[in-house]
Structure 1
Amino acid sequence: MMTTNQYTPLTSHGLIKISGRDAKKLLQGQLTCQLDDIAEDQFNFAAHCNPQGRVISFFYLLQINNDYYLHLACDMIETAMKALKKYAVFYQTSIANVSDTMKSVGLTIKDEKILSNYFTHYPMQKKSALVNEQIYLAKISNEQYLMLGEEKIIAKKTKKFATDFIESSLAQWHAEEISMKIPRIYPETSEVFLPHEIGLPELGAVNFSKGCYTGQEIIARMEYRGKLKNHLHLVSLTSTIYPKPNMTIHANNKIIGTIVDVEKKSAQEYLALIILNDEYINYDALYLENNHAISLAVLN
């Protein structure tokens, strides 16, 4: 049976668990989002920034029971934990990498009614979530869902998907996130970007009415006083070399943009999120580092 519903075991991602009496207090003073908006039935995107307002890590922030979970790429877990532990010493809380025992799966659903074959209940609104049969299920967009839980439970559930789903690749899931302008932070881009530069306010990941948090003064200044000349764009990029995150984009012998996130589509075609100076949005003579010519087609 052919189907367009897809599931992707997110083996590239892991989970950090924040628990303890002061878990919420710690995160409220560190993250860009409002912790009061996070509950078992509501998730959000969040960033942890340095005092200069630069994004150290960016992740899905979830709550299960009284514990908080950060869902992010495995290669960023050590960086994210190290940054949070600097402040955790002042609170009654613990920070643990639980990626070995908890797993996640991305779902792409063309008809959400199919979920009723596998769950007695499922979230209906974007950023809503629920725990069903010991599985946490969150709705990211009209078609994308995030499922996570204990490894054995997730494995048992995904085995049942064969009737209505096909297994998809990590590259395909990554491309879907890029299409939704959900960027990833990499070790080489940690502490490089401001939240505004990579579109985090548009994702609802920055709350401007909450109290102080690390980097808040700089981020608020960008919101109320700043005039950004560079903005995040979703583009189709043609290049003879692989455009890696943090590569700079050049024109007229100056830097006019940066690669934020990228996924390969074909031999020389890439789906990418880039920061680009507004003046060069339709400029033809663009090139990457080392004078590699590129062409862009803006998709947003």
Structure 2
Amino acid sequence: MTNTSQIQQKWLDNPSSLPCNLPDWGLIVVEGSDAASFLQNQLTNSVLGLSRTLPGQMAQDFTGTRLAGYCSPKGRLLASAWLGLFPSAGDTDDRFALFISKDIAASTAKRLSMFILRSKVKVTDLSNDWNIAGLFCSRSQIDNIKLDPHCINLRIPNVLVSEQSVARLLMAYPKDVSIALENSDIRLSTWNDLEVLSAIPRIVQATQEQFVPQMINFESVSGVDFKKGCYPGQEIVARSQYRGAIKRRLQLAYATNAELTAPGTELFHSADPGQPAGMVVLSAQSPYISGRTDIQIECKLEALETGEIHLGGTDGPVLKIDSLPYPLIEI
């Protein structure tokens, strides 16, 4: 990617270890003695076996944090979330924290609550009461970060930039707690760009119910456990995997001087202008290259073979396709 070395050099030149607030992120807490079994029956990934992360600690690796999706009965993603197990001090019950897009947090919490029935579970949307912050730094720095005991800390996968790994940490803390922040525009835009370059999707309101998990590589980034029990849409997700029904995938792309890059913006192929070839999943303005937008797109595989993919319409900007930072699980 043409901008990765520039991003790498910029944050190496100013290696702040302070987080910045993430206004697009929210938090849902699912707690109670039946919380684990409840989520196990709702999400695409298993929550069983997650290690408990105590105050002042960091949830990390597959033992401490997992990516999970929440599907409709038709197998379409309603939400995606990073989750960990964060028990309250002195409480033996489970308490799961789900870091999720803020614009779908309330509706997701409401929908989950509809299926509690007689389970000993409480689902709470804390997005208006807690702040979400993000920190990125070098791999050598991340283990030396001093963690505030008031924060829930969840490490998400590194992003490979110019052959070096950028470590990332999601943090949640009550709004009445003050922590040291660096809320600069460049810090936030770099976090957002790193998220796009990770090629790990995040569902937002504009893309709800648009994708079966495999259409945005969810199984290739460890967001689906095909060995776990049933969950909403499980049969369709499994059928898509084992019958090779998926002909669309998430790709990385970029555009220059593009105005329509919001999630949900449709893509059109030069050879088939009458119907969309895909849509934008997530996008971010490059913090260091003027006019460049980095984009996660969901796209028909055949559209990548020949011709051009345009953003927003057949007369829109032409997308340049970049390579993915991980191998796809073949379907």
What is the aligned-residue RMSD (CA, Å)? 2.5
**2:172 and 2:308 mapped to 1: Cα distance?**
45
CA-CA distance at 1:8 after TM superposition? 1.7
**2:150 and 2:98 mapped to 1: Cα distance?**
18
* Map of 2:37 onto structure 1: 25
Question: Aligned letter for 2:227?
Answer: S
Q: Would you say 1:35 and 2:47 are equivalent positions?
A: yes
CA-CA distance at 1:190 after TM superposition? 0.8
Tell me if structure 2 keeps the 8 A contact 1:246–1:259: yes
CA 1:47–1:225 in structure 2 vs 1: closer, same or farther (change >3 Å)?
same
CA-CA distance at 1:282 after TM superposition? 5.1
- Pairing of 1:157-176 with structure 2 (within 5 A): 158=180, 168-176=186-194
CA-CA distance at 1:106 after TM superposition? 0.9
Tell me if structure 1 keeps the 8 A contact 2:310–2:319: no
Query: SS of 1:208's equivalent?
Result: coil
Question: Aligned letter for 1:137?
Answer: N
* Map of 2:5 onto structure 1: none
* Map of 1:270 onto structure 2: 293
**1:111 and 1:225 mapped to 2: Cα distance?**
39
CA-CA distance at 1:70 after TM superposition? 1.2
* Map of 2:326 onto structure 1: none
Greater CA drift, 187-196 or 81-90 = 81-90
* Map of 1:73 onto structure 2: 101
**1:246 and 1:93 mapped to 2: Cα distance?**
33
Query: SS of 2:238's equivalent?
Result: helix
CA-CA distance at 1:260 after TM superposition? 1.2
Q: TM-score, normalised by structure 1?
A: 0.84
Question: Aligned letter for 2:111?
Answer: A
Q: TM-score, normalised by structure 2?
A: 0.77
* Map of 2:15 onto structure 1: 4
CA-CA distance at 1:271 after TM superposition? 0.6
Gaps of 5+ in 1: 120-131
Q: Would you say 1:47 and 2:63 are equivalent positions?
A: no
Q: Which aligned segments of 4 or more residues in structure 1 are displaced greater than 4 angstroms?
A: 165-168
Greater CA drift, 45-54 or 256-265 = 256-265
CA-CA distance at 1:111 after TM superposition? 4.9
Question: Aligned letter for 2:220?
Answer: E
Q: Would you say 1:85 and 2:108 are equivalent positions?
A: no
Question: Aligned letter for 1:91?
Answer: S
Greater CA drift, 283-292 or 22-31 = 283-292
* Map of 2:6 onto structure 1: none
Query: SS of 1:241's equivalent?
Result: coil
Greater CA drift, 198-207 or 95-104 = 95-104
Question: Aligned letter for 1:277?
Answer: K
* Map of 2:168 onto structure 1: 144
Tell me if structure 2 keeps the 8 A contact 1:239–1:293: no
Query: SS of 1:35's equivalent?
Result: coil
Q: Identity rate of aligned residues, in percent? A: 24
**1:213 and 1:111 mapped to 2: Cα distance?**
35
**2:221 and 2:297 mapped to 1: Cα distance?**
16
**1:11 and 1:211 mapped to 2: Cα distance?**
34
